[in-house]
Amino acid sequence: MPDTLVQIELKPPQGDWRDPHVEFRKGSICYSAAPKNLTALGLPNPRAWQPLDSDWKLPPDWKRIILDGMKERLQKYRSFRLFMDICVRCGACADKCHFYLGSSDPKNMPVARAELMRSIYRRYFTLTGRVFGSLFGGKLAGGRELTEDVIKEWFYYFYQCTECRRCSVFCPYGIDTAEITMMGRELLNLIGCNTNWVLEPAANCFRVGNHLGIQPHGFKDSLDFAADEAAEITGLNFEVPINRKGAEVLFVMPSADYFGTPHYYTLLGYLMLFREIGLDYTVSAYASEGGNFGLFSSHEMTKRLNAKIYEEAKRLGVKWILGGECGHMWRVLHQYMDTMNGPADFLDVPVSPITGTVFANARSTKMVHICEFTADLIHHGKLKLDPRRNDHWIATYHDSCNPARAMGLLEEPRSILRAVCRNFHEMPENTIREQTFCCGSGAGLGTDENLEMRLRGGFPRANAVKYVKQKHGVNLLTCICAIDKATLPTLLEYWVPGVEVAGVHELLGNALVMTGEKERVVDLRGEPFPAEAYAATTASEADHA
């Protein structure tokens, strides 16, 4: 935590945005990627350097590499060329970015972030820029010379964007800053300017299978431990099948679910659900990561990491794939996976074995979101639920950016929440659903050295949580994103103390009445159920606890 309280104020911008000079300071940057991670992934220019150094040890022909890289991408991505060309700078996006609202740094306005790239595009890739390039200091054509300072500025601001796409919702042309940030990061990758918080998980994921590099036996230990814990809570036996051939469903979750808190309680929720409905499933130690930090580095890396999921589904001979609660994982699964690594013609169109519902919306990708799966079970009355077991929570729901704006998964988690808890209040309309505010730590920015910027970026989200806390006494923020679960607790502790963070399936696990379970006295966190909330059925047990 920063020693002094982060001050939030909106100051009028000063100076000329074309001046690329950036003051790098701790708290608002991510450290550079360790050379070993670049080497492991075969990326160019591995070396020891830090953003705080004055010499970044760029390759001698860095300028040519960047311009060639831009040229290539302008030809390969319509989005890139179009978004470079058609912005009218109307400013509708300006105050939609959580980083701008939290930092008051004018280059964090989405339009300005894109202009950092556009000014180079105009200078080197447009007729006006090439002709009038240096007239009036480039003012006429709105271009800038590509200098090393521009590279540093790109690094600073393209790693100060969480690719949440909120600005794009408001743009009259749908210009998506995430696309521009992704291109910016790809270009920076070409000259070896990467961050460790992105590349280390990517390297681990590539070699071992998940972000933390937990090896297969450790993976099994984690899941066995979770199975024991679920058994202790319910008095039932649990087993988690790993790499089991011939299962009907391959279940892929973000690795944080089996090593992070509060993700872990969500994992318990999944396990209880699967056991109760008798799902014929397996998890995989090879494809033990749903998340994909390649998305925060390059399209190529996204594809390399994502390839494991289909390969493993094919090897194990499952019929379809079920995916856990994660945000950017679903951006990849929903919008990229089938294109990159499909077609998945070796799988069947997903059908719920319990309700018979055909998930026609996933008939090509063959991958279903667990919230879609569970919402369907609840809708068909296949689960026995006691929402009173969540009476100690007054919950609200945070739409995670990617499921909201790259998918539209809005009602499925809400319908689950309404069935499993009795106290649920929405945050204000313009801070949820497609207008949801990012946690401020997505897209590979969730590292501790970047904490000040994360707290600033998370301020708009926290502000809305504070509103419902004061109005309705909300004490739980539910969400379906692993990065949210990892970073929102810190954020809320800072801005809105007294609000916890939980996954939707944690609350489901609490409410799920399992066949043959013992009287439950504790929730999935091991906390005794409050006696008054559960008086009707468990008063005596609560006293014993």
Residue 2 in contact with other proteins, rule: CB under 8 A: no
CB count within 10 Å of CB 79 equals 17
Nearer to other proteins, 111 or 193 (CB): 111
Binding segment for other proteins (CB under 8 A), chosen from 190-198, 303-311, 419-427, 528-536, is 303-311
Structure token pair of residue 542:
């609560």
Nearer to other proteins, 6 or 191 (CB): 6
| Interatomic CA distance for residues 523 and 358, integer angstroms | 33
Residue 360 in contact with other proteins, rule: CB under 8 A: yes
Show the binding pattern over residues 398-437: x = contacts other proteins (CB under 8 A), - = does not: ------xxxxxxxxx--x------------x-xx-xxx--
CB of 238 to other proteins, least distance (A): 12
CB of 380 to other proteins, least distance (A): 10
User: What would the DSSP string read from start to end of 136-174?
Assistant: GGGTTTT-----HHHHHHHHHHHTS-----HHHHH-TT-
Residue 364 in contact with other proteins, rule: CB under 8 A: yes
CB of 361 to other proteins, least distance (A): 5
322 bridge partner residues: 251, 368
CB of 197 to other proteins, least distance (A): 21
Structure token pair of residue 533:
């909330």
| Interatomic CA distance for residues 337 and 365, integer angstroms | 8
Compute φ and ψ for 497, nearest 5 degrees.
-60, 145
Compute φ and ψ for 93, nearest 5 degrees.
-80, -15
Binding segment for other proteins (CB under 8 A), chosen from 108-116, 230-238, 385-393, 504-512, is 108-116
| Interatomic CA distance for residues 349 and 113, integer angstroms | 41
Residues 374-403 touching other proteins, rule: CB under 8 A, are 375-376, 379
| Interatomic CA distance for residues 168 and 184, integer angstroms | 17
CB of 170 to other proteins, least distance (A): 5
Residue 343 in contact with other proteins, rule: CB under 8 A: yes
Binding segment for other proteins (CB under 8 A), chosen from 43-51, 148-156, 192-200, 202-210, is 202-210
424 bridge partner residues: 395
* 33 touches 301 (CB < 8 A): no
Q: 3-state class of 503 per DSSP?
A: strand
Binding segment for other proteins (CB under 8 A), chosen from 60-68, 88-96, 147-155, 521-529, is 88-96
> Distance between terminal CA atoms of the chain?
35
Q: Which of residues 307, 351, 522, 533 is near other proteins by CB under 8 A? A: 307
Residue 347 in contact with other proteins, rule: CB under 8 A: no
Q: Which of residues 36, 71, 130, 139 is near other proteins by CB under 8 A? A: 139
Residues 316-335 touching other proteins, rule: CB under 8 A, are 333-335
Structure token pair of residue 71:
């040229």
Nearer to other proteins, 276 or 412 (CB): 412
Structure token pair of residue 6:
């982060």
Show the binding pattern over residues 21-60: x = contacts other proteins (CB under 8 A), - = does not: ---------------------x------------------
Of 305, 342, 323, nearest to 209 by C-alpha is 305
* Rounded alpha-carbon distances, angstroms, from residue 306 to 142, 249, 507: 39, 18, 29
Nearer to other proteins, 111 or 486 (CB): 111
Binding segment for other proteins (CB under 8 A), chosen from 121-129, 262-270, 384-392, 484-492, is 121-129
Show the binding pattern over residues 171-200: x = contacts other proteins (CB under 8 A), - = does not: xxxxxx--x---------------------
Torsion sign (Cα): 275, 264, 386, 519: positive
CB of 428 to other proteins, least distance (A): 7
Residue 534 in contact with other proteins, rule: CB under 8 A: no
Residues 476-515 touching other proteins, rule: CB under 8 A, are none
Does 262 sit behind a cis peptide bond, omega within 30 degrees of 0 on the bond before it?
Answer: yes
Nearer to other proteins, 147 or 339 (CB): 339
With vertex at residue 285, the alpha carbon angle to CA 374 and CA 314, rounded to the nearest 5 degrees, is 75
Q: Which of residues 9, 54, 60, 515 is near other proteins by CB under 8 A? A: 9
Residue 169 in contact with other proteins, rule: CB under 8 A: yes
- Greatest alpha-carbon pair distance for the chain in Å reads 84
Give the burial string for 128-166 (b: 16+ CB within 10 Å, else e).
Answer: ebeebbeeeebeebbbbbbeeebbbbbbbbbbbbbbbbb
Residue 283 in contact with other proteins, rule: CB under 8 A: no
Q: Which of residues 43, 65, 87, 347 is near other proteins by CB under 8 A? A: 87
Task: Specify whether the backbone of 438 is left (phi greater than 0), alpha (psi in -120 to 50) or beta.
Answer: beta
How many binding residues for other proteins (CB under 8 A)?
A: 122
Residues 240-279 touching other proteins, rule: CB under 8 A, are 241-245, 247
* 444 touches 203 (CB < 8 A): no
CB count within 10 Å of CB 428 equals 12
Q: Which of residues 62, 99, 265, 286 is near other proteins by CB under 8 A? A: 286
Q: Which of residues 43, 63, 70, 115 is near other proteins by CB under 8 A? A: 115
